Structure 1
Amino acid sequence: MEKMENQRRKEWLESMLRIVSPVFDALEKEELHKTMPLDFHEERSEYAPLEAFGRSMLGLAPWLEAEGLEEEEEKLQAVWRKKALRCLDAATDPESADFMNFTTGGQPLVDTAFLCHTLVRAPKQLAGSLTERVRHHLAQALRSSRTIMAGSTNWLFFSAMVEAGLYLLGEKDYDKMRIAYALRSFEGWYKGDGVYGDGEVFHWDYYNSFVIQPMYVDLLDLFGDSAEEYRILKEKVTARASRYASVLERMIAPDGSYPVIGRSICYRFGAFQMLAQAALQRRLEKGLTPAGVRCALTAVLRRCLENGDMFDGNGWLRPGVYGFQPELAEGYINVGSLYLCSAVFLPLGLPAEDPFWIGEDEDWSGRKVWSGGHIAIDHALD
Structure 2
Amino acid sequence: MERRKFIGALSLTGVFGLFNPNEVLSVTKTNNNTNAQSKNDREYWYKLLYKIASPVVSNLANGTLIKNMPVVTAPKFDSRTPAVSYLEAVGRTYAGIAPWLSLPDDTTTEGILRNKLKLQAIQGLDSCFAANSPDKLNFTKDYQPIVDSAYLAQTFLRAPKALWEPLKPETKREIIASFKSLRNRKPFKNNWLLFGSITEAFLLSIGEPHDESRLNEGVDTLNAWYKGDGWYGDGVNMAFDYYNSFVIHPMMVDTLAVMLDKKLIKKERYDLAVKRMQRYVVGQERMISPEGTYPPIGRSITYRTGAFQALSQIALMHKLPATIQPAQVRSALTKVKQNIYGTPGTFDAKGWLQLGFCGHDPEIADYYTSTGSLYMATLSFLPLGLPATDEFWAAPAAEWTSKKAWAAKPFSKDYHVDF
Give the TM-score range, shorter chain: over 0.9
Shift of 1:4: 4.1
Within the alignment, does 1:292 sit opposite 2:320 as a pair? no
Provide the secondary structure at the position in 1 that maps to 2:70.
Answer: coil
Question: Is the contact between residue 240 and residue 381 of structure 1 (CA under 8 Å) also seen in structure 2?
Answer: no
Secondary structure class of the residue paired with 2:170: helix
Post-superposition offset of 1:300: 0.7
Residue 152 of structure 1 deviates from its aligned partner by 1.7
CA contact (8 A) 1:204 1:261 kept: yes
Q: Say whether the 8 Å CA contact 2:157–2:202 is kept in structure 1.
A: yes
Give the superposition deviation at 1:245: 0.9
Cα distance, 1:24 vs. partner? 1.2
Matching residue within 180, 185, 201 for 2:221: 185
Aligned-pair CA distance for 1:75: 2.6
Correspondences of 1:1-382 after superposition (within 5 Å): 3-41=36-74, 44-67=81-104, 71-171=108-208, 173-227=209-263, 229-382=265-418
What amino acid sits opposite 1:371 in the alignment?
A
Which letter maps to 1:53?
Answer: V
**What whole-Å deviation, never above 9, does each CA across 1:27-86 have from its counterpart, x for those lacking one?**
111111111112434764211100011111111000111236563322322222211111
* Mapped partners of 1:89, 1:228: distance in 2: 32
Q: Give the match's secondary structure for 1:242.
A: helix
Unaligned runs of 5+ in 2: 1-33
Contact 2:38 2:397 in 1 (8 A): no
Structure 1: gaps (5+ residues): none
1:3 CA displacement: 4.6
Alignment TM-score, normalising by the size of structure 2: 0.87
1:191 is paired with a residue whose SS is strand
Q: Name the count of aligned residue pairs.
A: 381
State the alpha-carbon separation in 2 of the partners of residues 228 and 135 from structure 1: 25
Amino acid corresponding to residue 254 of structure 2 in structure 1: D
The 8 Å contact of residues 128 and 169 in structure 1, kept in 2 or not, is answered as no
Length-normalised TM-score, structure 1: 0.96
Query: Structure 1 pair 224/106, CA: closer, same or farther in 2 (3 Å)?
Result: same
How far apart, in 2, do the equivalents of 1:335 and 1:363 lie? 34
Alignment RMSD: 1.6
Q: Secondary structure at the match of 2:345?
A: helix
Could you say if the C-alpha distance between residues 122 and 370 of structure 1 is closer, same or farther in structure 2, counting changes exceeding 3 Å? same
3-state SS, counterpart of residue 38 of structure 1: coil
1:139/1:169 contact within 8 Å kept:
no
Is contact 1:69–1:352 with CA below 8 Å preserved after alignment? no
**Alignment partners' CA distance in 1, 2:231 and 2:296:** 18
Cα pair distance change 1:272/1:69, threshold 3 Å: farther
Shift of 1:94: 3.6
Q: Deviations over 1:301-351 (max 9, x none)?
A: 011012021011111111111101111111100000000000000000001
Return the offset for 1:226: 3.5
Distance 1:72 1:311 in 2: 24
Seq. identity, %: 39
Q: Is the 8 A contact 2:226 2:233 kept in 1?
A: yes
Whichever residue aligns with residue 113 of structure 2, its letter is L
Instruction: Tell me: CA distance 1:274–1:226, structure 2 relative to 1, closer, same or farther (3 Å).
Output: same
In the TM superposition, residue 353 of structure 1 has moved relative to its aligned partner by: 0.3
Helix, strand or coil for the counterpart of 1:261? coil
Amino acid aligned to 2:220: R
- CA deviations on 1:127-160 (whole Å, 9 max, x unpaired) are 2222211111111111122222112211111111
